[in-house]
A = this chain, B = another copy of it.
Amino acid sequence: MHVEGRKRVVIENVKPEIDCGRFPIKRIAGERVEVTADIFADGHDTISAKLLYRCSGNNAWEEVPMNFIENDRWKGTFIVKELGIYHYTLKAWINQYHTWQKMLRKKLDAGQDITADLLMGIDLLVRTAKRASENDRIRLREFIHSLKESNREKACAVAISDELTELMDTYQDTEFATTYGKELQVIVDREKALFSTWYERFPRSCATEPGRHGTFKDCEKILPEIARMGFDVFYLPPIHPIGKTHRKGKNNSPVCERDDAGSPWAIGSKEGGHKSIHPQLGTFEDFGHLIKTAKGYGIEIALDLAFQCSPDHPFVTEHPEWFRWRPDGTIQYAENPPKKYEDIVPLHFETEHWNDLWEELKGIIIFWIEKGIRIFRVDNPHTKPFQFWEWLIKESKNKYPDVIFLAEAFTRPKVMYYLAKLGFTQSYTYFTWRNTKREFIDYLTELTQTEVKEFFRPNFWPNTPDILPEHLQYGGRPAFMSRLVLAATLSSNYGMYGPPFELCINEALPGKEEYLNAEKYEIKQWEWDTPGNLKDPISRVNRLRKENPALQSTSNVRFYEVDNDYLLFYGKATEDLSNIILVVVNLDPFHTQSGWVKVPLSELGIDLNQPYLVHDLLSDDKYIWQGESNYVELNPHLLPAHILKVRKRLKREADFDYFM
């Protein structure tokens, strides 16, 4: 019948656990994993439970006790230290000695006879002694003697003494322990997976002289300024040779002029494919030099991973079996009628030779990893099979656990979440299209207060080369400022496509969310120091992100009340409340908005009866507030936001030496 009918404890409703344990949760090294579970047994016996965890390299489990919270819920925590994969599971059993102690105490309180009970206790000690080390066995035998020889009062004191309890806990009988059937996983990434500040810029547009094709050397020249602005990831759109067949002209025109540069996403020409560099950008040596120089500035170079080809890509002739051929003998290009992307041919993942294709694509990643790249922004992952990504990311991180993959999937919500579950380290989000207070609160609540926070790390982008959202088109500089503050303070990972962002470029194709004269199809020379540019505020915002640990995670965001729907009020704090940031953003780019914010004093550990100082890290203004309700007023043409650092206690007369 049953293997063992005496396992009486149940472990269920374990959290975090994604899709019944099918997917790992994510943490960075040094973060805590807090595991909760419902643990209970029949009857009223006392339970002991442990949380077991191990790093993939170790076969031995480490154990920490689970503690009872309430309503049969238990909690245990551990810290992940090494990059890679951790496993965790649970174990629980009836603690016979504690059960016996509980009964003993109750009988003592009721003044009942405990003669038989003491004998039962002694019996437990005898059995435990058999499992104990020699020294502990001797000690247990002393306790047995003491229980037998003492009077009732003394025996009870011995029985519930800390020393004996601890000894009995050390050698518990776990023969009938229940183990949780599953081993759950944690992917442990490096810190940048959680806290990163991205700057995207086309290297070919980095030349300082008009008309010249930019190079990696030009990129190096702007590194000091990128560093001054506070970015730590410099992400380059594809750097590979660009196809000529059906090359797109300016503004995505199907007609290409002679000197048109083409889209860098039309990868591959007779000069090479995904493992080659577009000759006009420079050599592999130049590229290596750029990586090294950037590192000196605390900046990592991120590459674009776009698994698609131009019709001129070497794959097309070398591996025709990796493409879809139409019955008329032509190659299937990318299309979404009425749109045609004839400069791009998708890889055909349903090919019988998918196995070879997967290996080749993995080879591309390993190639660039070995060139020193550890961050990839993955283009359109939602148009390639899910299984492929899961395999690819696992394979890559197995050997290089420090690699970061950012999923550029602007698609349906469940697909975006699924890609994150499969292994993407960070993800693009719908932040780009969130406008109103309600929308921000709902979306951020979904990202940070539900299971989503365990596997999906948002990366907020106010713009991309493909997307100039409507609020930036009509809201002018105030809209750019407020998006900067929102992206940088709501999410610990954020990025921008520059220089159009910091230059507040807002000319779009009519009726679309696309840039007019998009850089995707032409080389630009940017006037980076145009008056009114946002470089200084960006520097300031990025510096305050670095200086305030509260802003270095996302799921700690909480929204608070303010009596004006144009004002968004939220806060972030470190767990120990040593760093508290409150943010108020005016979402109206045109008018001054004011209102009364309600500061959650007790949540933030602020004394209701003491004034406290809030220091606006954006304007450097300081305000003395008291109590929950405080007045704010934001003129978007001056500064559309407060980023307030809270100093809980103001100096008072009693703080001076001469007081008293």
Q: Give A residues with C-beta under 8 Å from B.
A: 1-2, 5-8, 10, 12-13, 19-21, 38, 40-44, 71-72, 103, 106-107, 109-110, 112, 115-116, 119-120, 122-123, 176, 326-328, 330, 335-338, 340, 349-350, 354-355, 358-359, 382-388, 391, 412-415, 418
By a CB distance below 8 angstroms, the chain B residues around A6 are 349-350, 354, 385
Name 11 A/B residue pairs within 8 A (Cβ), A-sorted: A1-B355, A5-B354, A8-B350, A8-B385, A20-B21, A106-B337, A112-B337, A112-B338, A116-B326, A119-B328, A176-B350
Nearest-CB residue, chain B, relative to A19: B12
Nearest-CB residue, chain B, relative to A112: B337
Question: Complex: how many Å from CA A110 to CA B338?
Answer: 5
Nearest-CB residue, chain B, relative to A182: B20
Instruction: Report yes or no: A355 in contact with B120, Cβ–Cβ below 8 A.
Output: no
Question: Complex: how many Å from CA A387 to CA B78?
Answer: 31
Question: Complex: how many Å from CA A123 to CA B41?
Answer: 62
- With contacts A72-B412, A415-B72 taken as known, whether A388 is within 8 angstroms of B5 at the C-beta atoms is yes
Nearest-CB residue, chain B, relative to A412: B72
Partner of A338 from the list B72, B106, B340 (CB cut-off 8 Å) is B106
A13-B414, A106-B336, A106-B337 known, 15 other contacts, Cβ within 8 Å: A1-B355, A8-B349, A13-B19, A40-B412, A42-B386, A72-B412, A72-B414, A103-B335, A103-B337, A107-B337, A110-B338, A112-B340, A116-B326, A116-B330, A122-B327
Nearest-CB residue, chain B, relative to A20: B20
- Least distance between A339 CB and chain B CB atoms (Å): 9
Instruction: Report yes or no: B112 in contact with A71, Cβ–Cβ below 8 A.
Output: no
Nearest-CB residue, chain B, relative to A390: B2
- With contacts A72-B412, A414-B71 taken as known, whether A8 is within 8 angstroms of B386 at the C-beta atoms is yes
By a CB distance below 8 angstroms, the chain B residues around A119 are 326-328
Question: Complex: how many Å from CA A310 to CA B359?
Answer: 72
Question: Complex: how many Å from CA A358 to CA B4?
Answer: 12
Question: Complex: how many Å from CA A474 to CA B217?
Answer: 89
Instruction: Report yes or no: B350 in contact with A40, Cβ–Cβ below 8 A.
Output: no
Nearest-CB residue, chain B, relative to A108: B337
Nearest-CB residue, chain B, relative to A114: B337
Instruction: Report yes or no: A44 in contact with B384, Cβ–Cβ below 8 A.
Output: no
Nearest-CB residue, chain B, relative to A346: B43
Partner of A10 from the list B44, B107, B418 (CB cut-off 8 Å) is B418
Question: Complex: how many Å from CA A110 to CA B354?
Answer: 33
Nearest-CB residue, chain B, relative to A324: B120
Question: Complex: how many Å from CA A328 to CA B117?
Answer: 9
Instruction: Report yes or no: B385 in contact with A349, Cβ–Cβ below 8 A.
Output: no
By a CB distance below 8 angstroms, the chain B residues around A103 are 335, 337
Nearest-CB residue, chain B, relative to A123: B327
Question: Complex: how many Å from CA A414 to CA B107?
Answer: 28
- Least distance between A652 CB and chain B CB atoms (Å): 45
Question: Complex: how many Å from CA A106 to CA B5?
Answer: 63
Nearest-CB residue, chain B, relative to A176: B350
- Least distance between A217 CB and chain B CB atoms (Å): 39
Instruction: Report yes or no: B349 in contact with A5, Cβ–Cβ below 8 A.
Output: yes
By a CB distance below 8 angstroms, the chain B residues around A386 are 8, 10, 41-42
Nearest-CB residue, chain B, relative to A38: B414
Instruction: Report yes or no: B5 in contact with A40, Cβ–Cβ below 8 A.
Output: no
By a CB distance below 8 angstroms, the chain B residues around A38 are 414
Partner of A5 from the list B5, B122, B338, B387 (CB cut-off 8 Å) is B387
Partner of A391 from the list B1, B8, B115, B326 (CB cut-off 8 Å) is B1
Partner of A44 from the list B21, B123, B336 (CB cut-off 8 Å) is B336
- Least distance between A213 CB and chain B CB atoms (Å): 34
- Least distance between A351 CB and chain B CB atoms (Å): 9
Nearest-CB residue, chain B, relative to A122: B327
Question: Complex: how many Å from CA A414 to CA B44?
Answer: 14
- Least distance between A21 CB and chain B CB atoms (Å): 8
Q: Which of A5, A13, A110, A340 has the largest number of chain B CB atoms within 10 A?
A: A5
By a CB distance below 8 angstroms, the chain B residues around A106 are 336-338
